[in-house]
Chain A
């Protein structure tokens, strides 16, 4: 390994440290390859063993029929698992439900969080308290939240039913057992859990817009609505794009909350990709098939991330993936 001083300017932050510009020179105390290796080795071993190897192993097993017993898989079946996947109504249903959650999030949840962030950006007494409070659901563990909502929504005059009865709505809804509404109930709970997080991110983005822009607009005679349309919306663009990305990637991986809430039921009506994978892999020991599903999940995230980076997060935003969303 050849060693030289690290170049000074950081392409990620755009901040340059003060060595930038001075010609690289060698230091007397520079470490040898052995020293560097001892710094890197523990983390690298951990990473290879528990991240890279499992992912590669999943990709390999996806081409076999395997029940997980007896050392290594031997029954090579080529693309059969993937072909079966495309004819599996549960898997196709998972994709449809993923689409539903994404559409609802973009159409309802994110605009709601955005609106609240705009409200809480105003100065008024008590705003810090509201801000703290709205973030609380995000702090709670998903599995615990799910148990809580199972009780809130319990059938036979549970809490939600009693609450609605006081305003005269007589519900005998099986909140979590009616296959026609269960996804919307889950979406409501997801909104409860995550709107505060998105709100805080929007708020951070909004706070990064300098007040001078609004002052200048006011001097030019712009109304509040005009300022919102011409300053707030465009300058919130990077934050919005980032939150949309996070929200969609999060939806692909949805597991804890739904699994504890409904187990994917009734009759797969609320199942997600990760739940199907879990059922196939851990309940039915279809390790090969479940691995193919994992790989499909990975490819969905990857293709989405690449397309999103390419077409939505344009070049002018490069680096913002590793920079707080509001940095410009």
Chain B
């Protein structure tokens, strides 16, 4: 199959590198444009669209970083993502535990109900959700974003956790029971600590989903008080439509948290997103 003379390998590697570098250019160009564009002023952007900034101009970045709106949006995004993640993982873990370890009448029906939830595109529910949230007076409240997001995250999280919980040997539970642990004690003291990797995976999924979510915040958060970053970026780009350099700086700073998170949690992120993807 593979010919491994040095000449053949050189040829093969050259082909691979050409393709890889072309793809790299395709991926990196828009991001570099934002990164470097943020260091230019608008005149430079017009006259020197492709080159390096000259002089380098940090004004755009410092303007964004000194604005209260940016930090408020970062805070909202993080706050909403963390609470969503906590709710969806906690609720799913409890349900998945019961589904995985106990048999009771109606279990399969209930599980099917949750699994069917994966079939509902979020856009299908957003209109009635809006009406329901309005009648609960949850519009413009972070809870109005958190609760529906958590609810739509349940099916996938339950399925992943149930599969994992089932793989934990029954002896572990029997030993705990013999030592007098009830289901709560077993769940919190033994099962959850044993499930740390899969809990991390599902948390990453929920976190990323919430961080990227756009349609629900767009509908629920009409006042800017709780705007998340995706809303803030789109609004900012409309407001400063003529100040391209500043919008680029804002875009770059809005992408940064995700990039940093990716750099540090790459393994969890990829395994979570790909397992989430194949399970979705």
A residues near B, CB below 8 A? 1-8, 10, 12-13, 15, 17-19, 27-31, 33, 35-36, 39-40, 42-44, 46-47, 49-55, 57-58, 61, 68, 115-116, 119-120, 122, 124, 126-127, 130, 132-144, 146-152, 154, 157-159, 162-163, 166, 192, 196-197, 200-201, 204, 214, 217-218, 222-224, 227, 242, 246, 249, 252-253, 255-256, 259-260, 273-274, 277-278, 281-282, 287, 290-291, 294-295, 297-298, 301-302, 305, 320-325
Contact B169 A2 (CB under 8 A): no
CB distance from B16 to the nearest CB of A (A): 5
Q: Check A143 against B214 for contact (C-beta < 8 Å).
A: yes
Bin the interface of chain B by size. Answer: 35 or more
Let me know if A253 and B122 touch, CB within 8 A.
yes
Choose from B131, B177, B269 the contact partner of A57 (Cβ within 8 Å): B131
Q: Which of B54-62, B64-72, B192-200, B251-259 contacts A (4 or more CB under 8 A)?
A: B251-259
Residues of B within 8 A of A135 (CB): 262, 270
Q: Is the CB of B92 within 8 A of A252?
A: no
Which residues on the B side are within 8 Å of A1 (C-beta)? 104-106
Q: Chain B 221-256 against A: per-residue CB contact (8 Å), 1 yes, 0 no?
A: 000000001110110010000001001100100110
Candidates A133, A295, A297; contact of B24 at CB < 8 Å: A133
Taking a contact as CB atoms under 8 Å apart, the answer to whether B168 and A17 are in contact is yes
- B254 lies within 8 A of A39 (CB): no
Give bound CA distance, A51 to B122, whole Å: 9
Q: Are B269 and A139 in contact (CB under 8 A)?
A: yes
C-alpha gap A320/B113 in the complex (Å)? 19
In the bound complex, residues from chain B placing their C-beta under 8 Å from that of A138 are 273
Q: A146 → chain B, closest Cβ, in Å? A: 8
User: Is B95 within 8 A of A142, CB to CB?
Assistant: no
Let me know if A58 and B114 touch, CB within 8 A.
no
Find the B residue at minimum CB distance from A17.
B169
A140 to B132, CA, bound (A): 30
Give the most central of A50, A53, A196: most B CB within 10 Å: A50
B113-136: CB near A (< 8 Å → 1, else 0) gives: 110010111111111111110000
5 shortest A-B CB distances, which residue pairs?
A43-B91, A50-B151, A162-B49, A143-B230, A54-B128
CB pair B104 A36 closer than 8 Å? yes
Interface flag for B2 (CB, 8 Å): yes
Interface of A is mostly: helix
Instruction: Give Cα distance in the complex from A169 to B278, angstroms.
Output: 41
B82 at the interface (CB under 8 A from A): no
Which residues of chain B come closer than 8 Å to A139, judged between CB atoms?
Answer: 208, 258-259, 261-262, 269
State A87–B98 Cα separation when bound (angstroms): 48
Kindly identify which residue among B19, B46, B124, B279 contacts A295, using a CB–CB cutoff of 8 Å. B124
B166 contacts chain A at the CB level, 8 A cutoff: yes
15 further A-B contacts with Cβ under 8 Å, apart from A19-B169, A33-B104, A152-B30, are A10-B163, A47-B113, A47-B114, A49-B132, A53-B128, A57-B128, A130-B20, A135-B270, A151-B244, A158-B49, A200-B270, A246-B277, A260-B234, A273-B123, A281-B126
- From B13, B125, B187, B275, contact of A54 by CB (8 A): B125
Known A-B contacts A10-B166, A130-B20, A246-B277; the reply to A140 vs B255 at CB < 8 A is yes
User: What's the Cα separation between A174 and B97 when bound, in Å?
Assistant: 55
Closest chain A residue to B125, Cβ basis: A54
Q: State whether B163 touches A50 (Cβ < 8 A).
A: no
Using known A-B contacts A5-B103, A46-B147, A143-B233, determine if residue A246 contacts B278 with beta carbons closer than 8 Å.
yes
Complexed CA–CA distance, A51 and B116 (Å): 10
**Which residues of chain B are near A255, meaning CB under 8 Å?**
123, 214-215
| Structural contact, A322 and B159, CB atoms closer than 8 A | yes
Docked-complex contact A151 and B248, CB < 8 angstroms: yes
Q: How close is A205's CB to chain B, nearest CB, in angstroms?
A: 9
Contact A133 B27 (CB under 8 A): yes
CB of A322 within 8 A of CB of B279, answer yes
Task: Decide yes or no whether B112 CB sits under 8 A from chain A.
Answer: no
Q: Can you name the residue of chain B whose Cβ is closest to the Cβ of A294?
A: B124
Question: How long is the Cα–Cα vector from A223 to B158 in the complex, in angstroms?
Answer: 45
Contact flags (1/0) for B161-198 with A, using CB distance below 8 Å? 01100111111001001001111100100000000000
- Assess the B127–A324 pair: CB atoms within 8 A: no
Which residues of the other chain, B, contact A218 by a CB distance below 8 angstroms? Answer: 1
Residue of B with least CB distance to A223: B1
Q: Are B121 and A57 in contact (CB under 8 A)?
A: no
Chain B residue contacts of A298, Cβ below 8 A: 119-121, 124
Task: Determine whether the beta carbon of A274 is less than 8 Å from that of B125.
Answer: no
Residue of A nearest to B263 (CB): A132
With known contacts A50-B148, A151-B251, A227-B1, A58–B30 Cβ distance under 8 A: no
Which of B2, B120, B121, B132 has the largest count of A CB atoms less than 10 A from its CB? B121
Q: Which residues of B lie under 8 Å from residue A53 when comparing CB positions?
A: 128, 132
The answer on a CB contact under 8 Å between B132 and A54 is yes
User: With A and B bound together, what is the CA distance between A221 and B177 in angstroms?
Assistant: 59
In the complex, A115 Cα to B19 Cα: how many Å?
Answer: 10
B92 lies within 8 A of A43 (CB):
yes
